[in-house]
Structure 1
Amino acid sequence: MDIPGLPARRAALNLIDAVLRRGETLDRAAGAALARVRGDADRALARAIAGEVLRWKVDLDALIDSATHQRLPDDAKPRAVLQLMLAQVLRLETPPHAVIATGLPLLAGGPRRLAHGVFSTLVKRQVSLPDVPTLPETIRARWGGRAEDIAAGLAVPPPLDLALRDPGETAAWAGKLGGVSLMPGHVRLPRGSAVGNLEGFREGAWWVQDLAASIPARLLGNGEGRRVLDLCAAPGGKTLQLASAGWDVTALDLSKRRLERLRENLDRTRLSAQVVRADALEWQPDAAFDAILLDAPCTATGTCRRHPDVLHRIGPRQIEEMTQLQERLLERAAGWLRPGGVLVYAVCSLEPQEGEGQAANLSLSPLPIGKDELPAGLSPTSEGWLRTDPAMLAEAGGLDGFFIARWRKV
């Protein structure tokens, strides 16, 4: 019989392995890794342990190396087990005896004594983690001078952001839910809030959407019945925003599973859109659009607060693949606009090649973003673009990293 809590730790170990060895996302790896874990609490614990290991991996490795005479190989199982044991003590405040009872059995047939000795030595030293996670060297090189500020935004997982169907009820919903609002149509709640149990969920008064992710659709304004294409639309937060703002929305995406979620959200919120499953690189519209929102596929490094796996599985190859795809999508989207139409491009990436590099090469007429269109505390760049990162609005809980730009077709 399994030791209580052991399945959750075994699942966390499998999640870490899936990310670091196979390059999978945490979300994709979760299905198989959590299959034998019973109960929502234990599944959430496994995800939390894996997330903290990936967020603090560089610092956890430094502690482990400080207590070993011979450095453990990077892919050695004892290192991974020690990472998750230390993450529980130092980040989740799990008692050391419980960590030992559920950690050492993961090394059945292996060097339990070594792991026990290293863990006990570090606990006796009363070691601690730095205030800010240390980013992998490759990340620091890519993000340059922004890296240390961004790292500061990773220390604590993000709060829960809600986008409201009716921005006119912002104050009312903030009061009902006990949250705060950083701009009309937005309410922020503490992390850990059970979404399905919150007032307003069943009647579709709001949906979950990071504050930064809600900005691109806002930049198109009120639709007044005009036609808009939400390109790469699923899982649908921007589609819901556009529909609630009065646009005649065509929501296009290739993923059947993600489009099913989009349709569920449309049903729940009682909003409407024409949903099209197609490959954007092959599909052709039957008429031009008044506006297009391209929230393009990207490396998603801007979501590192909630998806710390991106810190370890994204490199030059993935960035190059995404930039090539984004270039093709931008070219097609620009051709589908009517004269006078507006295009908004967004990526939840911190990589300049996916943001600034793409915007600088588009041949449409720039339509600069104004400071009055943004949440207080954010400002556009000198080019009229918007760049956000997890260090911004830190006192209010931060936000995801995005690049957003806007153009008009003349």
Structure 2
Amino acid sequence: MLWQGRALEAALPRALRSLDDPSDRGLARNIAASVLRWLPDLDELIDARTRMPLPDDARARMVLRMALAQALVLETPHHAVVATALPLVEGGPRRLVHGVLSSALKAGDSLPDRPLLPEPWGQRWAEAWGEKAAAAAAAAMAAPPPIDLTYKSADVVPPPGEGEVSLLPGHLRTRRAGRVEAWDAYGEGDWWVQDLAAALPARLLAPQAGERIADLCAAPGGKTMQLAATGAAVIAVENNEKRLTLLRENLERTGLPAELLHSDARKFRPEAPLDAVLLDAPCSATGIFRRHPDVLHLRDPDRLEETLRIQAALLSHAATLVRPGGRMVYAVCSLEREEGEDQVDAFLDRHPDWHADPAPAGALPEGIREEAPGRIRTLPGDLAEIGGCDGFFMGRLVRDEN
């Protein structure tokens, strides 16, 4: 996956096609994710026990990474680790893998308290947000975060159970295990999985019943469902047909209405000006590394130019869709200032008829604050005592009346 430049979720269906048992598929997914979370540290252990460094894409290195992740992260019994690793190098460097693995396990090799972040992210985030935030990011990389649920009505949120907490009306944070499809009220469509930070842009937009609102780049649909649940008339615009299908399925499960449009958001033009637009723009996605550790191995901060150009174009186009006095929320699941704060500042420079507007009362949970009026940044370390949240930037913008 790494040397092919493919995301984990895109690579897994083909990789797991020979596994019928859901538990086997879940284990394989956990092994892959654990390798990605601890990759630099696993490679340090491997390199310390080989006379010459193995190539990054060598089968022996990949097998050792998986085996050590099983033993040191997932705490699989050592005999089972060895028994499953060696068949993967039949006809190859079996003796090398057996020797390195056996010596590491017998010596009691261990991983540090928190992973090393893949280069260049640790240094980059330390410079941008401070050493404390970079250290919090490393700690957050170590294990999957809790799961946040957004309910389509605050009235149906169950009382928090043991280890659960509700941070806003219509929100529940849980550490339940297993397939979410088997959880209570999933089939009834009462809720959907949505990280707390990802749920904030729609709350910042403060949609009202009867308003005409566009959700641009809308899939997989969490924000569309939030908007529709308020009674707003929502147009969900998505350029990726497969992702649009997923959005449609989510709406059908929850029973929430929205008009779906398969289109490039830069070409979308409603019949009449809109009351509001939510633009969750394409981005580097570095802020969602807690659930998708592969992004830090696949993204290159030196290759943001095209993404930045698309974001700026989307912002400028979205501004033309909104009536005077209307509003827009721009959001990215990114920890890169160029994609967040800098984009909004540049937009406001280009569009003097727009201004940043403070967050509505009650839109943000305790512990998340505006860094400036209309600008909200969530960072590693925010809400860490209750499980943290993804890295996001959100800008709330209003078009002048005249």
* TM category, shorter: over 0.9
The alpha-carbon deviation at position 370 of structure 1 amounts to 5.8
Q: Does 1:248 align with 2:198?
A: no
The alpha-carbon deviation at position 192 of structure 1 amounts to 2.4
**Contact 2:156/2:190 (<8 A) preserved:** no
**Contact 2:378/2:392 (<8 A) preserved:** yes
Structure 2 gaps of 5+ residues are 349-353
Q: Does 1:114 align with 2:96?
A: yes
Residue in 2 aligned with 1:398? 388
The alpha-carbon deviation at position 174 of structure 1 amounts to 3.3
Q: Does 1:165 align with 2:147?
A: no
1:98 partner amino acid: A
Give the match's secondary structure for 1:219: helix
**Contact 1:370/1:384 (<8 A) preserved:** no
Distance across 1 between alignment mates of 2:182 and 2:114? 33
Give the match's secondary structure for 2:231: coil
Residue in 1 aligned with 2:242? 257
Residue in 1 aligned with 2:42? 60
Give the match's secondary structure for 2:160: helix
1:97 to 79, 89, 100: 79
Residue in 2 aligned with 1:275? 260
Structure 1 gaps of 5+ residues are 1-17
Q: Does 1:82 align with 2:64?
A: yes
Distance across 1 between alignment mates of 2:373 and 2:114? 31
Residue in 1 aligned with 2:351? none
State the Cα deviation string for residues 229-284 of structure 1 (Å, max 9, x = none).
Answer: 00011111101100111211111101222222212222222211111111112222
State the Cα deviation string for residues 355-377 of structure 1 (Å, max 9, x = none).
Answer: 11111111221112367421111
Give the count of matched residue pairs: 390
Distance across 1 between alignment mates of 2:58 and 2:178? 36
TM-score for the superposition, normalised by structure 2: 0.93
Range that drifts further, 185-194 or 358-367: 185-194
1:255 partner amino acid: N
**Contact 2:356/2:375 (<8 A) preserved:** no
Give the match's secondary structure for 1:63: helix
**Contact 2:206/2:360 (<8 A) preserved:** no
Residue in 1 aligned with 2:365? 375
Distance across 2 between alignment mates of 1:253 and 1:378? 29
Distance across 2 between alignment mates of 1:232 and 1:344? 13
Residue in 2 aligned with 1:329? 314
Aligned-pair identity in percent equals 51
The alpha-carbon deviation at position 131 of structure 1 amounts to 1.1
1:386 partner amino acid: I
TM-score for the superposition, normalised by structure 1: 0.91
**Contact 1:294/1:345 (<8 A) preserved:** yes
Q: Does 1:31 align with 2:13?
A: yes
Distance across 2 between alignment mates of 1:320 and 1:371? 36
Distance across 2 between alignment mates of 1:198 and 1:178? 16
- RMSD of Structure 2 on Structure 1 (CA): 1.7
Range that drifts further, 311-320 or 321-330: 311-320
Distance across 1 between alignment mates of 2:10 and 2:225? 25
Q: Does 1:127 align with 2:109?
A: yes
State the Cα deviation string for residues 292-336 of structure 1 (Å, max 9, x = none).
Answer: 000111111111011110010000354222211111100100111
Range that drifts further, 100-109 or 84-93: 100-109
Residue in 1 aligned with 2:342? 357
Residue in 1 aligned with 2:137? 150
Distance across 1 between alignment mates of 2:379 and 2:181? 28
Distance across 1 between alignment mates of 2:258 and 2:197? 23
